[in-house]
């Protein structure tokens, strides 16, 4: 089979790595890809939002399956374009991607499906949102309704911060509509599942580390590291989340005629009153993909194709024993505008056993491999125990050098 993978981050390198192990893969093209994906398949320099050029490429190269990584092209209908051209694509249509692209739409579906989530109030007028917050006299989590590159949520500790957050988020395009959400407390989980519109195939439960600095301090980022599986989540709890919080949403979407096909990502918080959905994403998580994909056995490409063809069965992939820990190395100034062009050294010398270095924001220059984005590399260690996987990842992290590299030293520490 010929596969076209769309995207250029660490998630896409992990997807390329996993797809390349499939016995049915013939050719893998990645648009636009990164230096890591180019070692596995062939990078094609077409941007993820140039749908006409991508569909042309799909036709010309006789692509059997397109796999879409990032959220923005999904929300903009990339899958619809491929389907119109008669090309199978793994990922939701624009209508189904609204589950991530509009938080108010997701809340409405969850209400209809009876899925527990934080109480929320939607406002199309920031003045009305501010009046409501003042009236309530308490702080709220303020969320832009649309996609905002991970910058659309402000967790306020007091009323003044809530009002300031309303003012800030109402000025970004994704913030034309705002949500005020009740603040919940507890550990967070990421549960990703493949879905063909009806059937779910859950992957191992992962935990992300969203803040920039150790001890969950500093600003929110796309994710500074992750580990899986999360032992504190037993199989009963994971089964319950899938059956009672994910399947009902899938069923409501199917009944509405907008079936969800792709990777359904549930962001969950374990409160004292039980698990609650914080958000749904319509794609694989990044860096979650860098830890969950190495932990599954079976033909991954066959499973994605089965999703696109509406014939997924839950036995197509199985968890494999062991643990994975991914530590993200970020560029100077991330999550602000990252500095680019710093030379990266030390990757070649690494012993490849139980270690995968996923590229994200890298590029090749005259000086060799250099930084080219906020999250530069995702270093994934594997091991029979969480400790072994973590030690493996950090041993490699210390050998990779670039100027002012930023990383957390406490990824997965909470679970040890
Ligand atoms: P979201 O994009 O909605 O997942 O929000 C990003 C992050 O903000 C989450 O991973 C949580 O850490 C935090 N967050 C979002 N909603 C809430 C909430 N209702 N209560 C507490 N924290 C939240
Ligand atoms: N790591 C969080 C996300 O992919 O949205």
Residue 108 lies in a domain: no
The rounded distance, in Å, linking the Cα atoms of 170 and 143 is: 9
Distance CA 319, CA 322 (A): 9
Is residue 98 within a helix (H) or strand (E), and if so which, with residue range? helix 94-101
Q: Which atom of ligand 2 is nearest to the CA of 283?
A: 4
Q: Is pLDDT above 80 for 214?
A: yes
Task: Name the domain boundary from 128, 149, 181.
Answer: 181
Residues 334 and 390 in one domain: yes
CATH code of the domain containing 392: 3.90.600.10
Judge contact between 5 and 67, C-beta under 8 A.
Answer: yes
Q: Is residue 98 part of a domain?
A: no
Asked whether residue 351 carries a pLDDT value surpassing 80, the answer given is no
**Where do the H-state alpha helices sit in 137-258?**
159-169, 235-241, 247-255
Residue 114 lies in a domain: no
Scanning the structure block, which residue is given the tokens 């820990």?
Answer: 325
Asked whether residue 247 is domain-assigned, the answer is yes
Residue 32 near residue 8 (C-beta atoms within 8 A): yes
16/84 same-domain check: yes
Report the pocket of ligand 2 as residue ranges, CB < 6 Å: 208, 222-223, 281, 285-286, 288
Angle of the 247-255 helix axis to the 94-101 helix axis, nearest 10: 140
Tell me how far apart the alpha carbons of residues 307 and 199 are, in angstroms, rounded to a whole number.
Answer: 9
382 and 331 in one domain?
yes
The whole domain housing 212 covers 185-319
Which CATH number belongs to the domain containing residue 298 in this structure?
Answer: 3.30.470.20
pLDDT per residue as tens digits for the range 54-80: 999 999 999 999 999 999 999 999 999
Say if residue 295's pLDDT is above 80.
yes
Quick: pLDDT tens for 122-180.
999 999 999 999 999 999 999 999 999 878 999 999 999 999 999 999 999 999 999 99
pLDDT tens per residue, range 238-272: 999 999 999 999 999 999 999 999 999 999 999 99
In this structure, what CATH number is given to the domain that contains residue 154?
3.30.1490.20
Closest ligand 2 atom to the C-alpha of 11? 4
- Average pLDDT for the chain: 97
Helices assigned H by DSSP within 114-241: 126-136, 159-169, 235-241
Q: How confident is the model at residue 91 (pLDDT cuts 50, 70, 90)?
A: very high
How far is the C-alpha of 100 from the C-alpha of 253, rounded, in Å?
13
**Domain limit, last residue, from 161, 181, 201:** 181
104 located within any domain = no
Element (H, E) at 153: strand 153-155
pLDDT average, residue stretch 328-342: 96
The alpha-helical segments, DSSP class H, found in 182-267 are: 235-241, 247-255
Q: Are residues 210 and 282 in the same domain?
A: yes
**Residue 99 maps to a domain:** no
Whether 320 is in the pocket of ligand 1, judged by its Cβ within 6 Å, is no
- Both tokens of 374, joined, read 């906020």
CA of 86 to the centre of ligand 2 (A): 30
Task: Give CA–CA dist 345/384, Å, rounded.
Answer: 28
Which of 124-133, 212-221, 343-352 is predicted least confidently? 343-352
Tell me, using a 6 A CB cutoff, whether residue 267 lines ligand 1: yes
Which helix (H) or strand (E) segment is 368 a member of? strand 368-371
Structural domains of the chain, count: 4
Q: For residue 11, what is the domain's CATH number?
A: 3.40.50.20
* Average pLDDT estimate for 389-416: 97
User: Which ligand sits nearest to residue 154's alpha carbon?
Assistant: 1
- Of 215, 280, 207, 272, which is closest to residue 249 (Cα–Cα)? 280
Q: Are residues 78 and 14 in the same domain?
A: yes
For the CA of 285, the nearest atom of ligand 2: 4
What is the pLDDT, as a whole number, of residue 403?
Answer: 97
Indicate whether 308 and 204 sit together in one domain.
yes
Instruction: Clarify whether residues 140 and 194 are in a common domain.
Output: no
- 353 pLDDT band, cuts 50/70/90, is confident
Ranking 181-185, 258-262, 286-290, 345-349 by mean pLDDT, the lowest is: 345-349
Q: Are residues 333 and 282 in the same domain?
A: no
Q: How far is the CA of 224 from the centre of ligand 2 (A)?
A: 10
Residue 102 lies in a domain: no
pLDDT of residue 220: 87
Task: Single out the residue in 319, 334, 356 at which a domain terminates.
Answer: 319
Residue with CA at minimum distance from ligand 2 atom 5: 285
Query: Same domain for 72 and 129?
Result: no
Looking at the predicted structure, is the pLDDT value of residue 181 above 90?
Answer: yes
Distance from C-alpha of 71 to C-alpha of 152, rounded to nearest angstrom: 14
Q: How many residues does the chain have?
A: 416
What is the arithmetic mean of pLDDT over 319-342? 97
107 CB within 6 A, ligand 1? no
pLDDT recorded at residue 112: 97
Taking the C-alpha atoms of residue 345 and residue 399, their distance in angstroms, rounded to an integer, is: 8
Pocket test for ligand 1, best of 144, 278, 287 (most atoms within 8 A of CB): 278
Report the nearest atom of ligand 1 relative to the CA of 152.
2
Question: Does 106 map to a domain?
Answer: no
* Mean pLDDT (whole number) for 81-93: 98
Whether residue 228 contacts residue 307, with contact meaning beta carbons closer than 8 Å, is answered with no
Question: Within this chain, do residues 251 and 287 fall inside the same structural domain, yes or no?
Answer: yes
354 and 383 assigned to the same domain: yes
Same-domain pairing of 189 and 304: yes
Q: Residues of the chain with pLDDT > 90: what percent?
A: 97
């Amino acid at each position: 089979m010929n596969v076209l993978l769309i995207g250029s981050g660490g998630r896409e390198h992990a997807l390329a790595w996993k797809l390349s192990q499939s016995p049915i893969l013939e050719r893998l093209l990645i648009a636009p890809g990164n230096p890591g994906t180019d070692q596995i398949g062939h990078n094609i320099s077409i941007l993820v939002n140039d749908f006409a050029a991508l569909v042309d490429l799909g036709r010309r190269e006789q692509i059997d399956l397109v796999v879409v990584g990032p959220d923005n092209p999904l929300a903009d209908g990339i899958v619809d374009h491929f389907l119109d051209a008669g090309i199978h694509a793994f990922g939701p249509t624009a209508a189904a991607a609204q589950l991530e692209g509009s938080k108010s739409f997701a809340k409405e579906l969850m209400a209809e499906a009876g899925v527990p989530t934080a109480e929320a109030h939607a406002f199309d007028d920031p003045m009305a949102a501010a009046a409501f917050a003042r009236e309530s006299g308490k702080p709220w989590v303020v969320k832009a309704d649309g996609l905002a590159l991970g910058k659309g949520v402000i967790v306020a500790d007091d009323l003044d911060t809530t009002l300031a957050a309303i003012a800030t988020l109402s000025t970004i395009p994704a913030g034309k509509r705002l949500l005020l959400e009740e603040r919940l407390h507890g550990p967070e989980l990421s549960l990703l599942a493949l879905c063909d519109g009806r059937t779910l195939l859950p992957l191992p439960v992962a935990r992300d580390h969203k803040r920039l600095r150790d001890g969950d301090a500093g600003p929110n980022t796309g994710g500074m590291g992750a580990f899986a599986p999360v032992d504190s989540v037993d199989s009963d709890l994971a089964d319950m989340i899938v059956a009672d919080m994910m399947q009902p949403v899938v069923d409501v979407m199917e009944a509405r005629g907008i079936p969800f096909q792709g990777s359904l990502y549930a962001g969950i918080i374990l409160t004292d009153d039980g698990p609650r959905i914080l958000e749904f994403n319509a794609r694989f998580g990044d860096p979650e993909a860098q830890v969950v994909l190495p932990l599954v056995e079976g033909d991954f490409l066959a499973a994605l194709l089965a999703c696109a063809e509406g014939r997924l069965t839950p036995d197509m992939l199985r968890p494999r024993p062991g643990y994975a820990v991914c530590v993200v190395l970020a560029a100077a100034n991330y999550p602000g505008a990252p500095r680019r062009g710093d030379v990266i050294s030390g990757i070649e010398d690494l012993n490849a056993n139980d270690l995968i270095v996923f590229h994200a924001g890298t590029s090749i220059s005259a000086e060799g491999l250099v930084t080219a984005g906020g999250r530069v590399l995702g270093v994934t260690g594997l091991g029979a125990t969480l400790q072994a996987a973590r030690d493996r990842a950090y041993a490699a992290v210390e050998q990779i050098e670039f100027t002012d590299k930023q990383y957390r030293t406490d990824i997965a520490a909470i679970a040890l």
